[in-house]
Amino acid sequence: MTSTDTTRRGEVSIRDLSKSFAINGRPLAVLKGLNLDIRSGECLVIVGASGSGKTTLLRVLAGLEAADGGRVLIDGAPVQGVGTDRAVIFQEPRLLPWLTVLGNVAFGLEVRGEQRARAEERARDYIGLVGLGEFADAYPKQLSGGMAQRVGIARALTVQPEILLLDEPLGALDAMTKITMQEELARIWSEENVTMIMVTHDLEEAVYLADRVLVLPKEKGAAARLIDIDLPRPRDRSEPRFVRYREELLREFGLH
């Protein structure tokens, strides 16, 4: 399932990006003058205080929200609305309750005009990849939260995007499931040559998954911090350097 072409795909370049919303008729700057280059195939994790604009940034990258100023280029081309080079995994699985797991995972490809049989064939591969092979014919109602989220992940992977955008995908899961899913995400990311841009509140998760962590500032216009996580994979959460990175992130939040 790993893409064989060697051209650099899934590169993102963000230049002087700004975005504000009107709240009670007054503009509220959410993102201001953000610059960032995301490398092909990297895993960038975005953290920041609540309201710092993480979701907004992700939605701009997804093409669900238009920027007010600045530019976002993906592989050199400006983002204009949603595109087939990107897939989004939301905090909720957002499964269609009337489709089975197989139907849901094939949905993305079918919507893009793939024939049902071929879409389902590919969907089965990814259902296996997220470990739900036995549940292909189950309905969303019959799944646990973690299983449902894995279906959402499989659906996004099935369209083989260059860029995977994830907004707190594990935020609603219990601690145990979360750790398992973090390991699965790390594995999937290393198997699927894909650029992963993920928002999280969980600093350990950030250190576990990220090549680089982007810390969005609370004060608009202040420079966003980028922290390289220079650790071998698979990562060991108890190793001293891992713990030090976590503490460094905590300090970024002024919590340590």
Q: Is 222 in the site for other proteins (CB under 8 A)?
A: no
Q: Any contact of residue 197 with other proteins (CB under 8 A)?
A: no
Stretch that binds other proteins, among 1-9, 42-50, 140-148, 211-219 (CB under 8 A): 140-148
Site track 100-129 with other proteins (rule: CB under 8 A), x = hit? -------xx-xxx-----------------
**Please, which residue, 51 or 131, has the CB nearer to ligand ATP?**
51
Tell me which of 52, 55, 149, 182 binds Mg ion, using CB under 5 A: 55
Contacts to ligand ATP by CB under 6 A: 21, 23, 30, 48, 50-56
List binders of Mg ion among 76-105 (CB under 5 A).
none
Answer yes or no whether residue 200 interacts with Mg ion by CB under 5 A. Answer: no
* Minimal distance, residue 210 CB to ligand ATP, in Å: 17
Structure tokens at 123: 């969907």
- Binding partner of residue 112 among Mg ion, ligand ATP, other proteins, none, CB under 5 to 8 Å per kind? other proteins
Nearer to Mg ion by Cβ, of 32 and 235: the residue is 32
